Structure 1
């Protein structure tokens, strides 16, 4: 059990790297009550409308954003030094104005649709200006300056595009009035796809995760991972990988996952002998990887399915093998590090038994299995699936006293779910401005042309530059907005090079996600370093090494999409899986530099080549890779027989 001081320290870490956690805690009852009513109300609204829609798309998104804006100004002070125990009159007014913007759209929906984005009146224009400013300021308060500044630059580009000195990005330019009205009126700007997915999939699945957490799912995952892997060599690190992967797939928040799961796993890793930087890196890489792990993928799978117009099952299947390869790579390095250092696991008497864990909380798996059934084997919509899964979760949790939720628990889960959506909603609203300007000016296609031209028409160089663009665009941004940005800005370059849409989307999605552990803005790794008391940059570099498979596999599935299991028959799929697994094992060995005994530098380089040959499906490269792997295995076994000493990792 964590002591109050440890909890305080972990909260400080969370607040340092996750601005969403720096909210007001009111001394007065009334502001807190208003927040609770708004948060619970919007949760109930979304839950009801997921099964029984009551508004059209435009007003529905407006209601969602209006309440999110109100909650932002009620909960988040203007400055870090502003008092956090009371509400200022100024923020109270801003919260009210935020609600007014949504009410205006709901009341005048028909008229707004008939006028379109060009026939705006004075009230439309003023509300457009106000809404854009509220969104930018709200996002600044919750997620920091990065995304709002980028949005401001895009608005300036939309207005002054004719004066850009780079010919490839010049456009005719739009007036301030036309640009801002375009952001507010219709479904191309603030109320576009990004806020649309926030108002549907993201909200519901965050709410689902909140209800699961209240039932004790987080404790169940920790206990189950501990029971399965805790006693093996380097057990606590493997526990971190498994539990963080499970939770990361559901909650979609890498930093929050690092702090919640890492508070349990990082001290255990340090206790058995892992270096503090490595311990933090394990937690960070595992938490970030959860967002590419089916079935939920932090809600990205549902958004990708809607964007591409293909079935959810296809997306989940495509994401399965790359995600498992990523986690296998992390586990391999964790295990080899334990072997190298001679680390043991946790004594079996100190960890729970699988049987006892399943008896106590195993029923909590039923909602997840139910969700998978609805998504894969029924014809109901994703939203309807989420609605019924939430209800089933509440019912299943009531089967045992330890997981049963009372009315107070349910209300708390509803409020927590709405609060947890604020940051993503504000990021999505700002992304709407960026994407809106890109659509208005053709910036996405211009950038795609620039990337291709810079790559000289080479697919490999285009992939490299697209990767770099995706990492930069994804730095410091929640996973879903990162995907929306990268798929709008970076994916068109791959599409123009003939890469299939699903492959292109998966490629940019991976690199937008892994920006969270890519220095210099590796927020997930920095948060983990705050808990482990390690050095942030060293932790980030270690996390980058652990996640190496996540940076290599996307290149491989561009060249051979059999890795996504969507264009391969069963015999091909089995061979692809086997060779890719062997390749990842060799990659982990090369990165850690240990297999039964220390591995020489020359052999490590050979193993990297071997890994790439094995990960890319081709019978000739597979044969070469298998031969190199077999020779390496025999050579290292022979060195072990000669009694080679363990050495500490670099």
Structure 2
């Protein structure tokens, strides 16, 4: 390997890829008066959220409608009607977008200025109420299309149609139907539609943690994650790939998007992997799989964990969710790590050269930059409210930013962090508002229970077929949707089927959450993999297939924690937990070797199949499967060492 420095993507190149694969990044580059208006609007949005977090939120309708008004107005100013649309002339924002932004302000202010009259009418709508409700629905759908993407917009429209045309639906999908007036009332004049729980969580917890992520970026934590990852894993076998895994697991803490994670950390790790000798598709696949896994890694799981707390209820806390998700996330990254290691061994790759490594002493001197991450974990464990945990963590991040000389943080950086945090929250607000439409229709029509019963009937009432069908539904529903909306859709439609079979709510919700997330790396619609291909220069579909192969753990682990709740630390003791983790990791080693085609040496195709079968037995909970799996595992190792000692080579295997 030569010693020339690897090249990373420029900021402009990163932005182009983000705009292509991530609707949230497709914003106008405003100047002049519109730049000032949006800057002030974003700052005011953050200050409003901080004010209510410190002094107490308003009533649900007021808090959520103001949050919605801010988000919709700013989306219409920042996001053009079409991707890449450039406005010619002096007026940077189209005239119709200015009107839509003003109408959004009106809709956002309607509840706060008319709440007494609306409450007194007890569900009876005036003509003005009706038209405002219709306007709110249309604005939410258009804002979601621009800021989030077409898939969730289409799903929301289909659900609205289902609510209205219920009498015309076939079979078990049929219901009495909702009149137009009742539909509008549900969508905007109750807390079961647009102003429902998803938007409520966005207007409180999610916004604050997105703000926390924005402050972490300003303090230099994002860059420190890369330096720390290189210093720990850079010199190991296939070092850059392991750097990508380690870095992306950490970056997931401050990024709410798989695609954004791919582009930010991938612009650094993918060129390293290519220079070392990894193929373009494999380099992109490693980053895509690792970045997607970042959404599964506590303490901040793509913001969906906050919704999970509200959806499951029953006294469940955010820390319960984070704790339950910890071991599955570790197993996921262990699986990706193992497979990249075997691939590096297979093609004979070493680690980075000494001159490409950062100074370890200098890196360790800045270990204090991790204090905000540790603080949020400790605060959540301590039992204080999620809101206060976020506020204190933001304050700690600011203090750390001032201590870090490299960040050179000033008062103006705090203002920009507030603006950037609000900008990040726009797509989440739109997505949760659209998700509220879906939840509202499901609640009013009982669709969730109908679909759950339908899935169970198709599966013959058996658990494993039901899990398989639910997995397929979650992957399809999750394609092209951001993490937050992704979870709302899958948990509303797919999770009830598993719960009906007696599986704990937490296991069921995490099951659909996992498969909704890995839709980002599952062809044919694998946005994270396509973004990684944009960085690596590889072929998108091949990158997606490689990503899905590397993330094979994510297709197995959800079945594991449904069948073996010990992995979620539900009703378990330390001995059981240690044994389950041991057999699971051992199983992942065998599966990884079988998938890559290399262990201590190249594997024959028969050995590959045997290794995968061995891994599945070890992963499946049970005394007999574990026993057989461990014996088979030992036999595989023995056969390889005997073969190596005798100097024999097996028949050439077809390696991916």
Matching residue within 466, 469, 476 for 1:465:
469
Q: How many angstroms does 1:3 deviate by?
A: 7.5
Q: How many angstroms does 1:319 deviate by?
A: 0.7
Q: How many angstroms does 1:453 deviate by?
A: 1.0
Cα 1:370–1:644, aligned 2, differ >3 Å: closer, same or farther? farther
Partner of 2:106: 100
Is the counterpart of residue 120 in structure 1 residue 125 in structure 2? yes
Partner of 1:194: 198
Partner of 1:48: 51
Residues 530-586 of structure 1: CA distance to partner in whole angstroms, max 9, x if unpaired? 110111100000000001111111112111111212221111111111111111111
Q: How many angstroms does 1:502 deviate by?
A: 0.7
CA contact (8 A) 1:397 1:405 kept: yes
Q: Which moved more, 1:591-600 or 1:518-527?
A: 591-600
Residues 377-435 of structure 1: CA distance to partner in whole angstroms, max 9, x if unpaired? x2310011101110111012211311341122111111111111111211111111111
2-side partners of 1:452 and 1:615: how far apart?
25
Q: How many angstroms does 1:216 deviate by?
A: 0.8
CA contact (8 A) 1:340 1:647 kept: no
Q: TM-score, with normalisation over the residues of structure 1?
A: 0.96
Is the counterpart of residue 72 in structure 1 residue 71 in structure 2? no
CA contact (8 A) 2:284 2:535 kept: yes
- Secondary structure of the structure 1 residue equivalent to 2:93: coil
Residues 450-484 of structure 1: CA distance to partner in whole angstroms, max 9, x if unpaired? 11111111111111111111111111111111111
Partner of 1:337: 343
2-side partners of 1:358 and 1:644: how far apart?
46
Q: How many angstroms does 1:615 deviate by?
A: 1.6
Matching residue within 312, 330, 355 for 1:349:
355
Partner of 1:148: 153
Q: TM-score, with normalisation over the residues of structure 2?
A: 0.96
Superposed structure 1 runs of 4+ greater than 6 Å apart: 1-5, 645-648
Partner of 1:35: 38
Matching residue within 438, 443, 448 for 2:442:
438
Matching residue within 280, 283, 295 for 2:287:
283
Partner of 1:603: 607
Residues 103-124 of structure 1: CA distance to partner in whole angstroms, max 9, x if unpaired? 11112223334444x4111111
Residues 41-97 of structure 1: CA distance to partner in whole angstroms, max 9, x if unpaired? 111211222222141122101111100001111011122363257112221111111
CA contact (8 A) 2:208 2:390 kept: yes
Cα 1:203–1:84, aligned 2, differ >3 Å: closer, same or farther? farther
Is the counterpart of residue 24 in structure 1 residue 28 in structure 2? yes
Partner of 2:327: 321
CA contact (8 A) 1:563 1:617 kept: no
5 Å-filtered alignment, 1:570-649, equals 570-643=574-647, 649=655
Count of paired positions: 645
1-side partners of 2:337 and 2:647: how far apart?
25
Is the counterpart of residue 535 in structure 1 residue 535 in structure 2? no
2-side partners of 1:110 and 1:556: how far apart?
51
CA contact (8 A) 2:149 2:481 kept: no
Partner of 2:207: 203
Cα 1:234–1:3, aligned 2, differ >3 Å: closer, same or farther? closer
- Secondary structure of the structure 2 residue equivalent to 1:595: coil
CA contact (8 A) 1:211 1:394 kept: yes
Q: How many angstroms does 1:311 deviate by?
A: 2.2
5 Å-filtered alignment, 1:400-419, equals 400-419=404-423
CA contact (8 A) 1:598 1:644 kept: no
CA contact (8 A) 1:284 1:543 kept: yes
- Secondary structure of the structure 2 residue equivalent to 1:297: coil
Is the counterpart of residue 228 in structure 1 residue 242 in structure 2? no
Q: How many angstroms does 1:299 deviate by?
A: 2.2
Is the counterpart of residue 372 in structure 1 residue 389 in structure 2? no
Residues 339-384 of structure 1: CA distance to partner in whole angstroms, max 9, x if unpaired? 010011101232114331121x3211111111111100x2310011
Residues 266-310 of structure 1: CA distance to partner in whole angstroms, max 9, x if unpaired? 011000100100000000010011111111112222322232221
